[in-house]
Amino acid sequence: MPSNPDIARLARDWARHPLFWEPKLSKDGRWAAWTWTGRTEAGNVWLAPTDGSAPPRRVTDEVDHTYVRAFSPDGKRLLLVQSEGSSEHDHLFLLDLESGAKQSVTPRQDDHYVYGGAFTPDGTSILYAASWDDGARFPIEGQRIYLHDLAGGARRIVSAAESLSDRPLELSEDGRLVLYHRHDRHPAGSQVWLLDLKTGEDRELFNAGDAMKSYGSWIDHRRILISAETVSHDRVGVLTLPELAVRWLIGDPTRSVDGAIAGADERSIATIEFREGALQAMEVEIASGEERPIATPGHSLLPIAQMPSGHWLCERYSSRAPHELVRFDPRDGATVEISRTAEHLARADLRFTAAQPYRWRSTDGTEIAGWLYEPAGPSRGLIAHAHGGPTWHSEDGVNGTIQFLVATGFTVLDANYRGSTGYGRAFREAIKQDGWGGREQDDIRAGLESLVAAGKGQYGRIGIIGLSYGGYSSWCQITRSSDLVNAAVPICGMYQLAIDYDATGMPHGRAYSEEMMGGTPAEQPERYFNASPANFIDRIKGRLMIVHGLKDSNVSPANTHAAIRDLDRVGIPYTLLTFDNEGHGIYRAGNREALFSRVAEFFEDAFAGR
């Protein structure tokens, strides 16, 4: 283990590693804007020309994380969003990029959610969705879509739905039609809706099935890009108005297409496809269906948006180098760095550890994949990193928590357990067979056991860490696999699923629980009971460090409060680390540094003498 001064330096360096959030492209393709957390104490917005002619410049200096929702049509203003302490109870404001002047759009608040933010073509108004009703003056479970005049500040409700969707809504190029999403029919589904601002007509446009997800995005004023689930796979097509006919471009059951992006040229789209968990984006010509890779050697390229020139704004990443925003030319594969992230590292000689593909068999024979990170010297212990979601997956990219742990001497397994995206619909949906806390937890355990068998871990020195669903997995492993796991760090993790269902501030969070668990706690009491680590804390034998942001409105701190009461009652020791200015995750640079330092000390102490 490095000395304490070395750990402090590594914690400082990795806590300040720039992490990208919500990159956006101006309509003319000349500018990119994004948020970096880590680079400053709170996440701030940066702006850079997409031709790479100048370095990025910071355009905000805020005490709370600030994110970009949209450029104005003329590219002179940014619509930004911010919440106090990262509670996700956002308010919108405008930033004039020339003068730096700010204009409040919606008030600061702490009881509802605001999603989207699309400018009308003339830039005088914006559209957004909120779980708030101006008539009732109260938060709601559903959503209201508001048309907000920026000059006078007046807004009016133009659509009402029983469900809240966090998918951004989109305006047609003439500003008349609004494309948005609902999941009123079933918690697992999502339907594409079309609102006519002129006539007020509000109708369902595309439904792949009440319990199937479908999403839409404008290609031009008559065509809509559709991504939709089927029973066996996902497909991508083009819906034409007013006929509503759909021509499917991609429908191969063997392909794992997680999404698609409409091109600015109105002739092409980009598909976001994963092959065995590795990203392989493709540019697809709509007319012919011809495909060509959006790729560069040694890195993944994630398309964000297409420029009028036909180039793509992409995030380029691997575990061996800092993530970069780049301009990609699909004709010759050339890239131009936009963000110049390498110039913003805490130290120029910061060492990155490469992810190694790793596979194993779970208890039922299912093949599971993940990424293995090994330290340069002798390992001080084996730690599983469990990603959040669970509808998400880990890739060959820089994860600051993992890089820090490996730099301090630990071996890390980053598992893509069943339920993860990137391996096809069947694997993604498999978690619903048991509900949360089922065989996906066996997948994590089996991965750790396989590494012990391979000589890359030893009993007595095994831990787990994770955020959100990864925090829940950490709770599961320290309770259900107490014969194997010696230490756990659940970060903003669910502890008692019935409490989590009731206490979350997010209406769509409850819908997600219902989708994954097959119903509400009242409808599935046995599933919720058996999946709740709270009911099995008597099995804990190892060390426990609980971390939570007290502004978390996703996984409520009520989970941690309940855990503390239960642990104190039965006399089980624990370490507690909370942050009153953090929400769902620990992202402020100073807090992240403190977290990293404490985590390294925790695992070192937990494994000492074993």
pLDDT, tens digit, 9 for 90 and up, residues 82-137: 999 999 999 999 999 999 999 999 999 999 999 999 999 999 999 999 999 999 99
Is residue 599 a part of any domain in this protein?
yes
Nearest-CA neighbor of 395 among 411, 376, 416?
Answer: 416
Per-residue burial over 536-557, b if 16 or more Cβ lie within 10 Å, else e, is bbeebebbbbbbbbbbbbbbbb
Is residue 498 a part of any domain in this protein?
yes
Are the C-beta atoms of residues 582 and 589 closer than 8 Å to each other? no
> Which residues are within 8 A (CB) of 282 and not within 5 positions of it... i.e. 6 or more apart?
270, 271, 273, 291, 292, 293, 294
Whole-structure pTM value = 0.96
Nearest-CA neighbor of 387 among 417, 412, 363, 432?
Answer: 417
Distance CA 249, CA 242 (A): 19
Tokens matching residue 211: 């319990």
Distance CA 218, CA 176 (A): 13
Give the residues across from 100 on adjacent strands: none
User: What 3-state class would DSSP assign to 475?
Assistant: helix
Angle subtended by helix axes 589-607 and 400-407, to nearest 10: 40
- What integer pLDDT is reported at residue 508 of this predicted model? 87
Distance CA 492, CA 547 (A): 6
Structural domains of the chain, count: 1
Q: Name the one residue in this structure whose structure tokens are 């890239």.
A: 335
Half-sphere exposure at residue 458, Cβ-oriented, CA atoms within 13 angstroms: 11
The kind and range of the H/E element at 119 are strand 114-119
Pairing of the two strands 462-467 and 487-491 = parallel
Q: CB 124: neighbour CB atoms within 10 A?
A: 15
Give the residues across from 139 on adjacent strands: 132
The kind and range of the H/E element at 559 are helix 558-570
Are the C-beta atoms of residues 235 and 399 closer than 8 Å to each other? no
Is residue 29 a part of any domain in this protein?
no
- What integer pLDDT is reported at residue 3 of this predicted model? 63
Is residue 526 a part of any domain in this protein?
yes
Tokens matching residue 368: 């599971």
Distance CA 446, CA 364 (A): 10
pLDDT in tens, 361-408: 999 999 999 999 999 999 999 999 999 999 999 999 999 999 999 999
561 is in which domain, residue-wise?
356-607
- What integer pLDDT is reported at residue 289 of this predicted model? 94
Check the CA dihedral 428-434-436-437 and report its sign.
negative
Extended beta strands in 291-386, E state: 291-294, 300-306, 312-318, 321-328, 335-337, 356-361, 367-373, 382-386
| Amino acid present at 227 | S
Q: Which residues of the chain have pLDDT under 70?
A: 1-3, 5, 609-610
Give the residues across from 322 on adjacent strands: none
For residue 121, what are the CA distances in angstroms to 27, 73, 172, 175? 11, 6, 9, 6
Is residue 421 a part of any domain in this protein?
yes
Check the CA dihedral 533-535-541-544 and report its sign.
positive
Q: Name the one residue in this structure whose structure tokens are 């903003």.
A: 492
Task: Compute and round to an integer the Cα radius of gyration of the chain.
Answer: 24
Is residue 130 a part of any domain in this protein?
no
Distance CA 552, CA 583 (A): 4
| Amino acid present at 96 | D
Q: What is the CATH number of the domain that holds 537?
A: 3.40.50.1820
Pairing of the two strands 411-416 and 382-386 = parallel
Is residue 215 a part of any domain in this protein?
no
Distance CA 172, CA 105 (A): 22
Pairing of the two strands 102-104 and 312-318 = unpaired
Per-residue burial over 39-60, b if 16 or more Cβ lie within 10 Å, else e, is bbebbbbbbbbbeeeeebeebb
Is residue 499 a part of any domain in this protein?
yes
Tokens matching residue 116: 């989207």
- Report long-range pairs for 92-97 (Cβ below 8 Å, ≥24 apart): 92/117, 92/126, 92/128, 94/150, 95/45, 95/59, 95/60, 97/47, 97/59
Pairing of the two strands 367-373 and 411-416 = antiparallel
Are the C-beta atoms of residues 439 and 362 closer than 8 Å to each other? yes
